[in-house]
A and B are shown apart, each in its own frame.
Chain A
Amino acid sequence: MLDEVSLNLNCSKSEWKEKRSRLQDRFYNLARACHNHRIPVLILLEGWDAAGKGHCIRYMAERQDPRGLKVQFFPEPRPNDLLYPWLWRFWQRLPAYGQIGIFDASWYRRLFWEREEGRISAEEAAETPYDILQMERQLHADGMVILKFWLHIGREEQGRRFREIEKNGALRFRVTEQEWVRNRLYETYREIIDHGLKLTHTAANPWRIIPATDERYAALRIMEISLLQLRRALEEREIPVVEQRRVLDD
C-alpha cells in the first residue's frame, strides 16, 4: 500500500492561506452536528517518526471547541498499562458519544514497532491484528466514525528532519538513539508496516496513506478527508448540516 503513494505532493503557500481557516470552520460545524447527534469520532494518526503528526494534530485541534475534542497521546506502554490486557489503556481514553478523539499514536504501535523492538512475543504479535480488527469492528458497529491516517515520508527526508531537530536546543530530546535505529532499519519497518496496513485495511475502517513531505499538504489532506467522511456519516443518518461562517474569531 505504501508504494501506491507519491511522496512529492505539496501545496502552495496561497492554497494553504486560502483553505486553512475555511476548512477549520467547516470542521467546527460538522463537529457540532456530530455532538448534537451523539456520534463519536476517532481520528487516529500513525506515521514515521518526525512525519509531522504533531503539526496535523495542532491544525485539526486549534479553533475547535476544546470541550468536544480531546487529543490523546500514546507513548510506549507504562508499567501500569502492563498490568492489564494490552488494549485496556485505549479503552480508558476512547471518545464518548458526541465527542471527537484524536489519537497521536495508537494500538498500531504494537503492530508496527513492538515485535521488531522485542517488546512482545511471537504469540502476542500473531494475535495483534485480530485484536485490532475486532476492536475496530465493535466500535464501528456501535456507531463510531474511525478515521485512520498513515503519514508517510521517505528515509532521506526523515534523516534530514532528525538532523534539523537535533540542531534545535529545545527539541533535541525528541531524537534519540532509538529514532536513528529506526531510520537505519527503514526498509525493514517499511515491509512490516505495509503488511500491517494491508491486514487492517477494511471497508468499514480503511487506511488513508498521506504523503507528508510537505506538512501543510498533509494537514490539509487529513482535514479534507475528515470533512468528507463526517459529512458522509451525517448523511447516512439523514442529519442535515447547517454551514455557518464563524463570526467569533481569534
Chain B
Amino acid sequence: MVVILNREGIMLKLSDVNPQRDMEKDEYRRRLREAQLRLGELVWEVYHQNRFVIFVYEGWDAAGKGGNIRRLVQGMDPRGFKVHPIAAPKGDEKEYHYLWRFWKRLPPKSEIAIFDRSWYGRVLVERVEGFATAAEWQRAYEEINHFERQLIHAGGILLKFWIHISPEEQLRRFKERQNTDYKAWKLTPDDWRNREKWRHYEEAVDEMLLKTNLETAPWTVVAGNSKRFARVLTCETTIATLERQLL
C-alpha cells in the first residue's frame, strides 16, 4: 500500500489540496475531444485482451461526478460500458453483506463498469451518518482492499477518483442548482445536511485515502472547482493508466 504524499513529503490530507486549477475553453475542447477519441480506441483494446475496467467515482455533493462520467464515456461504444449509480441499499440488497450488491454488478471480462458512488459509501456516508456501526466501518478498509485485490488478480484495471471541490464552490453550485429549473431536482435536503457535516466527511475521506490507496489500485484526487480541468484530468489519467496496463 502506498501513502499519498503532498509536496512537503507528508501524508496528503484533503485540506492540502488546492481544488482550483483552471483551463481555457479552447484548450479544454481540444484536449477533451482528443482524449475521448483515444478512450474509444482503448476500449477496444480492453475487449481484445479480455480484461475488464472498473471506475470508482467518489466526491463531494455537486462535485460534478455525473458530468465527468458523461464526458468520459462520450467516445466509447455504448455496448462496452455500464454506469451504475449507487445510492442507499434497497430491497434484496439489504438482505446481504454490504459488498454483495457490488459483486452483483461486476463487469465480465471485456467490459467496463463505472460506479457513481460505490462500496466506499461504507466508510463515508455510512460512517458519518451512523448507518454502519464503528466496528463495521473500521473493518471495511481491509474488506475493501481485499475485494479490490481480487479484482486486480482476475485481470481488472481499477481507477478510483475523488472529485474535490472547496466548500465555497459547493455553496455556489448549490445556489445555482436552486435557481436553474431543469437542475433544481438535483438539490435535496440531504445535500444541505451533508454540508453541515463537512468536517466529519473530510476526516472520513482522509482516512479512506490513507487506508485504501493500493499500488495496484491508487486513488487520484482531482481538483474539481473547474469542471473543465476535472474532466480532462480524469480522461487523461484514464488513458495513461490503460496504456500502461494494456500496451
Contacts and interface: CB of A to CB of B under 8 A. Distances in A.
A91 B100 CA distance: 7
Interface string B64-96: 000000000000000000000000000010011
Given A83-B109, A134-B146, A139 B154 contact: no
Main secondary structure of the interface of A (DSSP, over half): loop
Given A127-B153, A131-B150, A134-B146, A85 B96 contact: no
B106 A88 contact: yes
A138 interface: yes
A88 B96 contact: no
Interface residues of A, number: 23
Contacts of A86: 150, 154
Interface size class of chain B, counting residues whose CB lies under 8 Å from the partner chain: 20 to 34
Contact of A96 (B95, B99, B103, B153): B95
A94 interface: yes
B206 interface: no
A97 B92 CA distance: 10
Contact of B95 (A87, A97, A131): A97
B108 interface: yes
A173 interface: no
B107 to A, nearest CB: 8
A16 to B, nearest CB: 36
Contact of B154 (A85, A91, A138): A85
B97 A87 contact: no
Interface of A: 80, 83-88, 91-92, 94, 96-99, 124, 127, 131, 134, 138-139, 141-142, 144
Q: Which 4 A-B pairs have the closest CB atoms?
A: A83-B108, A96-B95, A85-B154, A91-B103
